[in-house]
């Protein structure tokens, strides 16, 4: 029979042992994480008694998740953006994410890297830029060293199940099950998880898919700012919910890959306007603080050229007041362009002050339509 302990003894025990039926306390956000304990320690036995997996360093403790921010900050030997295995391109909607993603792909392909550009929204923007038929969930070659794929969550789920279940009868039975299809559709974040899983699979040198090509670089045209952070947090969320088992370990593997700065790079695309600049500055903070991802580049897209100096603008202003007809209209148009270029430089200065990543500018292309040739022009200006 186990001897009874006094109240003083119980106060000195871990919560899991002192109060049966309760979970260990979670540390406060600012609290220092307790030192690792040796195998077989009282804390480890207490966690095991509640069915909790002993957390890996830098990832989980209880139900809280800790970002490996110190490891990222200390890493000094970071490869260049196009020398990584995965590049995530994100930003506010309508800023030219797809164009920049394709430009990065063209640049990498021209350097001899086998590159694939992935879309995750099934909009087929990349295929339209190449004037190609919809590629769907297929790795289609667009030109030499450059492929494209549009990742469909349902197809990603099917591929995942095919890789996990080796018995064909079990796979067929699962796909025919209405309950499975209902649960798969109703589970929050599951589509995002299998989408990221497919991106991870494409970036592996040892592909899981039979006859899958080996790529040097995978470029992801990621969701816009409003969904991008949550999208990248999905593996960590699932790892915290599924405390044990294959889903837990696989979700942690995806999270480690996303936050590994040696293998994964991130680029934010913005426009030289107040709202996109504000959102880009907030996005960089969220990616760093909430996801644990360091941003490698911020591309300010669509920057107007400076055609006139301040002295010339003063002369144009005088002409706009004194001249009539076509001369007056031309002077006003020139002043409008001068004002726009000047305003954009102010936003560029704000962006440089507000982010830690290097800011690279991309020119405004005076083209009727942004096709692959327009992206090719930008590819030569990427830094």
pLDDT tens readout for residues 336-348 = 899 999 999 999 9
Q: Are 143 and 379 in contact (CB under 8 A)?
A: no
Residue holding tokens 């798969």? 184
Q: How many other C-beta atoms can be found within 10 angstroms of the C-beta atom of residue 277?
A: 24
| Region of poorest pLDDT, from 41-50, 176-185, 325-334 | 41-50
- C-beta separation of 258 from 232 below 8 A: yes
Least confident interval from 37-51, 90-104, 125-139, 230-244: 37-51
pLDDT of 122: 76
- Which of these ranges, 21-30, 136-145, 193-202, 286-295, has the smallest mean pLDDT? 21-30
**How much is the pLDDT for 312?**
87
Output the pLDDT for position 178: 80
Share of the chain above pLDDT 90, in %: 48
Q: Which two tokens stand for residue 105?
A: 């792909």
Report the SS3 class of residue 25.
Answer: coil
Of the options 3.40.50.300, 3.30.300.30, 3.30.565.10, 2.60.40.650, the CATH number for the domain spanning 81-300+366-379: 3.40.50.300
Q: Summarize the confidence of residues 358-368 as an average pLDDT.
A: 92
Tens digit of each residue's pLDDT (9 = 90 or more) over 209-255: 877 899 999 999 999 887 889 999 999 999 888 878 888 899 999 99
Q: Distances from the Cα of 16 to the Cαs of 8, 49, 154, 362, in angstroms?
A: 16, 9, 41, 57
The residues of the chain that CATH labels 3.40.50.300 are 81-300+366-379
Confidence of residue 19 (pLDDT cuts 50, 70, 90): very low
104 falls in which pLDDT band (50, 70, 90)? very high
| 193's tokens | 């998880």
Asked if residues 92 and 225 have their Cβ atoms less than 8 Å apart, the reply is yes
249 by DSSP, 3-state: which? Answer: helix
pLDDT at 99: 95
Bigger pLDDT: 98 vs 327 = 98
Q: How high is the pLDDT of residue 51?
A: 39
Of 51-55, 67-71, 361-365, where does the model show the most confidence? 361-365
- Rounded to the nearest angstrom, the gap between the alpha carbon of residue 353 and the centroid of all alpha carbons in its chain is 23
Q: How confident is the model at residue 317 (pLDDT cuts 50, 70, 90)?
A: confident
Cα end-to-end span (Å), the chain: 72
Report pLDDT for 78: 53
Residue 44, pLDDT > 50, answer no
As a residue count, the chain comes to: 383
Query: Do 222 and 98 contact (CB within 8 A), yes or no?
Result: no
Cα dist from 269 to 14, 87, 222, 350, whole Å:
49, 13, 11, 15
Q: Which of 69-78, 176-185, 316-325 has the lowest mean pLDDT?
A: 69-78
As a whole number, mean pLDDT of residues 300-316 equals 90
**Where does residue 122 fall: left (phi above 0), alpha (psi -120 to 50 degrees), or beta otherwise?**
left
User: Is the model's pLDDT at 182 over the cut of 80?
Assistant: no
pLDDT tens digits for range 117-140: 999 977 899 999 999 999 999 999
On average, the pLDDT of the chain sits at 80
Task: Give the E-state strand segments of 235-358 in sequence order.
Answer: 264-270, 297-303
Strand partners, 220: 88, 118
Q: Is the pLDDT of residue 10 over 80?
A: no
């Amino acid at each position: 029979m186990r001897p009874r302990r006094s109240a003083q003894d119980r106060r000195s025990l871990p919560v899991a042992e002192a109060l049966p039926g309760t979970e260990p306390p979670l540390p406060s956000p600012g609290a220092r994480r307790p030192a690792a304990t040796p195998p077989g320690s009282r804390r480890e036995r207490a966690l095991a008694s509640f069915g909790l997996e002993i957390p890996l360093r830098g990832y989980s403790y209880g139900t809280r998740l800790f970002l490996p921010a110190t490891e990222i900050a200390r890493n000094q030997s970071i490869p260049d953006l196009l020398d990584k295995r995965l590049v995530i391109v994100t930003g506010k909607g309508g800023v030219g994410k797809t164009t920049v993603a394709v430009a990065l792909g063209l640049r990498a392909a021209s350097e001899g890297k086998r590159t694939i550009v992935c879309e995750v929204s099934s909009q087929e923007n990349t295929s339209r830029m190449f004037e190609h038929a919809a590629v769907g969930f297929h790795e289609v070659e667009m030109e030499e060293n450059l492929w494209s794929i549009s990742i469909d969550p349902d197809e990603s789920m099917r591929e995942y199940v095919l890789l996990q279940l080796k018995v064909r009868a079990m796979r067929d039975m699962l796909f025919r099950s209405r309950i499975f299809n209902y649960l798969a559709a109703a589970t929050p974040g599951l589509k995002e998880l299998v989408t990221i899983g497919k991106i991870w699979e494409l970036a592996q040198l040892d592909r899981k898919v039979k006859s899958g090509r080996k790529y040097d670089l995978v470029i992801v045209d990621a969701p816009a700012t409003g969904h991008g952070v949550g999208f990248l947090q999905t593996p960590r969320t699932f790892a915290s919910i599924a405390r044990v088992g294959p889903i837990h370990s696989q979700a942690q593997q995806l999270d480690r890959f996303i936050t590994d700065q040696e293998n994964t790079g991130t680029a934010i695309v913005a426009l030289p306007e107040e709202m996109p600049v504000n959102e880009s500055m907030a996005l960089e903070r969220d990616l760093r603080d909430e996801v644990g991802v360091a941003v490698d580049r911020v591309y300010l897209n669509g920057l107007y050229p400076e055609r006139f100096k301040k002295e010339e603008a003063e002369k144009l202003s005088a002409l706009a007041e004194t001249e009539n007809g076509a001369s007056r209209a031309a002077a006003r148009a020139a002043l409008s362009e001068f004002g726009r270029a000047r305003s954009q430089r102010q936003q560029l200065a704000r962006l440089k002050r507000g982010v830690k990543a290097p800011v690279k500018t991309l020119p405004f292309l005076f083209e009727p339509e942004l096709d692959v040739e327009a992206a090719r022009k930008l590819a030569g200006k990427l830094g």
